[in-house]
Amino acid sequence: MVIQFYDVCNRRKVGVPLEQVKKALYKRTTRNGKVQAHYILITQLNGTVLRKLVRRKDWLELDVPQV
């Protein structure tokens, strides 16, 4: 399976094999005390770290290591 990332430096979409992808969960607390969660896929391509925001459902379905 290949996941599409957007490479900002080269301004193009790149396909990355699932074996090279990791997932991360970023949380932050707002001023009102609510917690926001961002579900992210991370990969590295030619020394550049690429990140992609995904839905929680898609993030949970992927069987890749979590950072």
Residue 66 lies in a domain: no
pLDDT band at 29, cuts 50/70/90? very high
Q: How many independent structural domains does the chain possess?
A: 1
Q: Residue 48 domain-assigned?
A: yes
In a 10 Å sphere around its CB, with 0-12 CB exposed, 13-18 middle and 19+ buried, how is residue 51 labelled?
middle
Angle at 53 between CA 55 and CA 35, to 5 degrees: 75
**pLDDT tens figures, 30-61:** 999 999 999 999 999 999 999 999 999 999 99
Specify the pLDDT at position 6: 97
13 is a domain residue: yes
Residue 33: inside a domain: yes
User: What is the percent of the chain with per-residue pLDDT over 70, rounded to a whole number?
Assistant: 100
* Domain-embedded: residue 67: no
Residues forming beta bridges with residue 23, ordered by sequence position: 41, 66
| Structural domain boundaries enclosing 51 | 2-61
Residue 10 maps to a domain: yes
Q: Does any domain span residue 34? A: yes
Q: Give residue 5's pLDDT.
A: 98
- For 9-22, how does the pLDDT look when each residue is reduced to its tens digit (9 = 90+)? 999 999 999 999 99
* Structure confidence at residue 49 (pLDDT): 97
